Amino acid sequence: MIAHPRPDARPKLEGSAAFALDLDVPGMLWAALVPSPVAHGHLRSVDLSPARALPGVVAISAADLGSLLPGKSGDPDRPVFPSETVVYRNQPVAAVAAPTRELARQAARAVRVEVEPLPVVSDLEQVFPDWPGPKAEGSTHVAAHVRAREGDIEAVFRSAETVVAETYRTSSIHQVALEPHACLAEVTGDVWRVQTCTQTPFGTREDIASLLGVPEASVVVDGTWVGGGFGGKGAALLEPYALLLSKASGHPVKLALGYREEFLLGRTTLPSVIRMETAVTGGRIVGRRVRLLLDVGTSLPGRDFATGYSIGFLLGPYSTPAFEVEGYAVRTNKPPFGPHRAPFAPQCAFVLESHLDHVAREAGLDPLAFRAAHLWKEGDTTPMGQRVGPFGLPSAFEKARATAARWRTQLDPDSGIGVAVGFWSTGTGAGGEVRLRLSPTGLTVVQGEREIGSGSVLAGVAAVAARYTGLPRDRVTVAYEDTSRAPFDSGVFGSRTTATLGRAVDEAVRSLFDDLGKRLQGSGLVHLRVESGEIVAEQGSARRPLRELCNEKERADGAIIASGRHYGKSGTLDEKKVEAGTFYPYTDFTGAAHAAQVKVDRSTGTVRVTRYAAFHDVGAVIDPATAPAQVEGGVVMGLGTALTEEAMWSEDGRLLNAGLLDYRIPTIGEVPPIEVTLIEGFLGAGAFGSKGLGEPPMIPVPAAVALAVRDATGAHVTELPLSSERVARALKLL
């Protein structure tokens, strides 16, 4: 069993860990949001009077912002409440607070909203039935446009032996954290304070300040336990409404989404259409063209990160001498695109792996050998011109391949095996800081992130601190402080947490040991030991209990303090290749190779995953208990993306399957045995050369499953998810 029980295990097992929805304070009001009834329209009027007529109800809309935020301008591109146009269905046009949750819902329903409908832009094909023409980037439908190229792709394609062109489609998926969004806001005087389930307390603070037009210093975000984030709790969502209602009512205000609303208002991965063309001569890729149309909902122009970032996952981790990539972020009347776990990378890997597998088959080449021959290794240059650092992917790929070969000797009928790869970059350059408190009995790492579940904070950071200080794990705790007291950190996302905070701990420990050395006046390295329950510091022949090294102030405070920070750097791209938009270099190169075995019901198209193996390039294992757990959890989440998860949108911009019955995430019975192998030694950007592990486990999953289905049946499915109906069609059963 696991060596170190998680410090949060007992409260969570006993039901005493309080989440945002659980919070209850005297005088608290419950809030509810008033949704737009249509996906696009001129907002004619919002009549709050029927709501205000109900006892104890406070209601606000755009008209009230002037008096609630006198002299503040907020963000003109992102008004808290729209005053002229609604741009997605259920967009909040007003908010109410009432003494009970039931009354708040009633009050929200009572608000009369008049909207004059406008035509709804519901999907990509409606905007661009064909690939966008040259003037498209100026269109109001385009939120971002990226293009890069190397070489003369037309000439390359003309002279190649084989050119294979395919179109793929991927669906919208939701994060589906079990905990719905919730927060409790209390405005007192000039202080806008909110307790909320957030992956990014400081990022949320910045967002709130920007949206309300108030100084960041006047906003305090106090994070609660988070019941799963997966990217969906990385920015302010409910907090501005709750804060404004608190200001308006003079009461604390709790706002929580119902689970349907989680789907309806969720900011997540939206559909895409991707065109892949690859030219091969003499068994080598000689050129590639990639075209990405990504639905970004009502994301604002200039605020799309996904397109330029994701397109990298359609290029790598493979080398190509010539290429042309182009991506359009297309606006539709849906909520704005938001980050999901490994945002859009699993979809890209599905497309890339499936395509290269298909290209190899069309060119008469062995698919695994073909991909292996083009995989990046350390020292290579990526198509965008960045040098590939230590990269364990070739090693992971070989292990996955060997596992697949082993499984193949015992394969059941109607079964197949797929091997797929993915890559990631540990926390693209975001930074963080920590404060250490070394007391006579233990070390506390004070930082500004709550544990969202992975263990990256409570276990990962603790493990790093224990290793750097030499203290036993049970003498190290990680403490959380809110944004008014904690050192800054960018947030729990991008697989950066343990890696970046770990580097900050490294610097803080160096500073601490420097300080201890000065106090000890010994020679050589400083060590910390625990004797009879107390910490003793040594340097050479100098040994003193920590308490004796403290000055008077430190004795009163109970600890010696040290600080450290880490702001990572990404590599650089060759900007000459960039013709439009922003592309993103990587901080390190994190590889993942998976093998999936499936059994396909050839009469119904139903796919069952019967065996799975995941090989991950982790640099260095920080916490042996939580690391494999991340892989298991990420693989199973990826299985949902691969097989069953699909948010369906109607032509009038309505999400048709908002709810856990009709949007299906995996259940316990659908999980295969999963072998996890963590490969160390190819060092990355984090502490001890570790690489982030929160997101990579998701990336190769849909690809591995799709390739296994092809191996089992010959069916080549070019859409996600691989529903049984899509597989049945690819099997020509219908």
Partner 1 sequence: MASFDLVTPTTEEAAIAELRTGAPGEVAVLAGGTDLMFDLDGAKAAPRRVVSLRRLPWRTADWNGPVLTVGSTLSLRSLERDPEIAKKHPGFFQAIRAVGSVQLRHRATLGGNLGRAAPASDLIPILLALDAEVDLVGPSGSRSLPVDRFVLGARRTALASGELIRSVRFPEPRASTYLWQRVRPANDISQIAVASAYSPSDGRWRLAVGGIPPRALRLPEAEAILRSADPPDAEIRDAADRAARHLVIATDRRASEEYRRHLVGTLLDRAVRSTVAASKGGR
Partner 2 sequence: MSSPALALTVNGRPRPLENVPASERLLDTVRWRLGLKGTKEGCRSGDCGACTVLVDGVSTLSCLTLTHEVGGSTISTIEGMADDPIGRAVQEAFERAGALQCGYCTPGFVVALVGLLRERGRAAPVEELLADLGGNLCRCTGYLSIARAVSLLQKEAP
Which spans of this chain sit near partner 2 (rule: CB under 8 A)? Answer: 1-2, 5-6, 8-19, 21-22, 24, 176-180, 225-228, 230, 258-259, 452-455, 625-626, 629, 632-637, 659-661, 665-669, 671, 673-674
Q: What is the DSSP string of 129-142?
A: SSS--TTGGGSTTE
- Asked if 319 is part of the footprint of partner 1 (rule: CB under 8 A), the reply reads no
Which of partner 2, partner 1, none has residue 226 at its interface (CB below 5 to 8 Å by kind)?
partner 2
- Asked if 90 is part of the footprint of partner 1 (rule: CB under 8 A), the reply reads no
The secondary structure of residue 461, as a DSSP letter, is I
Which of partner 2, partner 1, none has residue 19 at its interface (CB below 5 to 8 Å by kind)?
partner 2
The 3-class secondary structure across 350-380, one letter per residue, is HHHHHHHHHHHHHCCCCHHHHHHHHECCCCC
Angle at 604 between CA 598 and CA 606, to 5 degrees: 30
Nearer to partner 1, 164 or 643 (CB): 643
Nearer to partner 1, 159 or 603 (CB): 603
| Smallest distance from partner 2 to CB 345, Å | 18
**Residue 166: exposure state from Cβ atoms within 10 A (0-12, 13-18, ≥19):** middle
| Smallest distance from partner 2 to CB 622, Å | 15
Which of partner 2, partner 1, none has residue 724 at its interface (CB below 5 to 8 Å by kind)?
partner 1
**Distance (Å, whole) CA 312 – CA 501:** 26
Task: Pick the stretch among 26-34, 212-220, 305-313, 659-667 that binds partner 1 (CB under 8 A).
Answer: 659-667
Location of structure tokens 């004070």 = 446
Alpha helices in 457-591 (DSSP H): 462-469, 497-520, 546-549, 552-557
User: 266 near 335, Cβ under 8 Å?
Assistant: yes
159, 165, 604, 673: which one binds partner 1 (CB under 8 A): 604
| Smallest distance from partner 1 to CB 734, Å | 4
Build a one-symbol-per-residue string for 670-709: x at contacts with partner 1 by CB under 8 A, - elsewhere: x---------------------------------------
- Asked if 667 is part of the footprint of partner 1 (rule: CB under 8 A), the reply reads yes
**Residue 258: exposure state from Cβ atoms within 10 A (0-12, 13-18, ≥19):** middle
Q: How many CA atoms lie within 13 A of 158 on its CB side?
A: 4
Which of partner 1, partner 2, none has residue 734 at its interface (CB below 5 to 8 Å by kind)?
partner 1
Nearer to partner 2, 21 or 314 (CB): 21
Which of partner 2, partner 1, none has residue 728 at its interface (CB below 5 to 8 Å by kind)?
partner 1
User: 454 near 464, Cβ under 8 Å?
Assistant: no
Residues sharing a CB contact under 8 Å with residue 673, sequence separation 6 or more, in sequence order: 611, 612
Query: Where on the phi/psi map is residue 438: left (φ > 0), alpha (ψ -120 to 50), or beta?
Result: beta
**In this structure, is the dihedral angle defined by the CA atoms of residues 374, 376, 380 and 383, taken in order, positive or negative?**
positive
- Asked if 669 is part of the footprint of partner 1 (rule: CB under 8 A), the reply reads yes
Which of partner 1, partner 2, none has residue 644 at its interface (CB below 5 to 8 Å by kind)?
partner 1
**What is the chain's length?**
734
Location of structure tokens 């998701």 = 698
Query: Where on the phi/psi map is residue 157: left (φ > 0), alpha (ψ -120 to 50), or beta?
Result: alpha
- Asked if 651 is part of the footprint of partner 1 (rule: CB under 8 A), the reply reads no
Location of structure tokens 């609604």 = 86
| Smallest distance from partner 1 to CB 534, Å | 50
Report residue 188: phi and psi, to 5°.
Answer: -125, 120
Structure tokens at 255: 């706002």
- Asked if 1 is part of the footprint of partner 1 (rule: CB under 8 A), the reply reads no
Q: Which of 248, 192, 249 is nearest to 221 (CA)?
A: 192
Report residue 487: phi and psi, to 5°.
Answer: -70, 155
The secondary structure of residue 652, as a DSSP letter, is T
Nearer to partner 2, 303 or 664 (CB): 664
Residues sharing a CB contact under 8 Å with residue 132, sequence separation 6 or more, in sequence order: 139, 142, 293, 328
User: Other CB atoms closer than 10 Å to residue 477's CB: what's the count?
Assistant: 17
Nearer to partner 1, 26 or 669 (CB): 669
Nearer to partner 1, 71 or 669 (CB): 669
- Asked if 100 is part of the footprint of partner 1 (rule: CB under 8 A), the reply reads no
User: 180 near 352, Cβ under 8 Å?
Assistant: no
319, 644, 690, 718: which one binds partner 1 (CB under 8 A): 644
Which of partner 2, partner 1, none has residue 177 at its interface (CB below 5 to 8 Å by kind)?
partner 2
Nearer to partner 1, 556 or 668 (CB): 668
Which of partner 1, partner 2, none has residue 725 at its interface (CB below 5 to 8 Å by kind)?
partner 1
Nearer to partner 2, 7 or 283 (CB): 7
User: Where would I find the beta strands (DSSP E) of 569-624?
Assistant: 578-580, 590-600, 607-619
Q: Which of 588, 674, 591, 589 is nearest to 398 (CA)?
A: 591
Which of partner 2, partner 1, none has residue 13 at its interface (CB below 5 to 8 Å by kind)?
partner 2
Task: Pick the stretch among 28-36, 406-414, 564-572, 657-665 that binds partner 1 (CB under 8 A).
Answer: 657-665
**Residue 224: exposure state from Cβ atoms within 10 A (0-12, 13-18, ≥19):** buried
Which of partner 2, partner 1, none has residue 333 at its interface (CB below 5 to 8 Å by kind)?
none
**Mutual angle of helices 367-374 and 345-362, in 10-degree steps:** 120
Structure tokens at 691: 């690489």
- Asked if 723 is part of the footprint of partner 1 (rule: CB under 8 A), the reply reads yes
Q: State whether residue 337 is helix, strand or coil.
A: coil
- Asked if 733 is part of the footprint of partner 1 (rule: CB under 8 A), the reply reads yes
- Asked if 725 is part of the footprint of partner 1 (rule: CB under 8 A), the reply reads yes
| Smallest distance from partner 1 to CB 601, Å | 9
Nearer to partner 2, 19 or 407 (CB): 19
Which of partner 2, partner 1, none has residue 641 at its interface (CB below 5 to 8 Å by kind)?
none
Judged by CB under 8 A, the chain residues 52 through 81 that form the site for partner 1 are none
570, 606, 610, 677: which one binds partner 1 (CB under 8 A): 606
User: How many residues touch partner 1 (CB under 8 A)?
Assistant: 23
| Smallest distance from partner 2 to CB 267, Å | 17
Nearer to partner 2, 180 or 383 (CB): 180
- Asked if 556 is part of the footprint of partner 1 (rule: CB under 8 A), the reply reads no
Which residues lie near partner 1 (CB under 8 A)?
102, 603-604, 606, 644, 648, 656-657, 661-662, 664, 666-670, 723-725, 728-729, 733-734
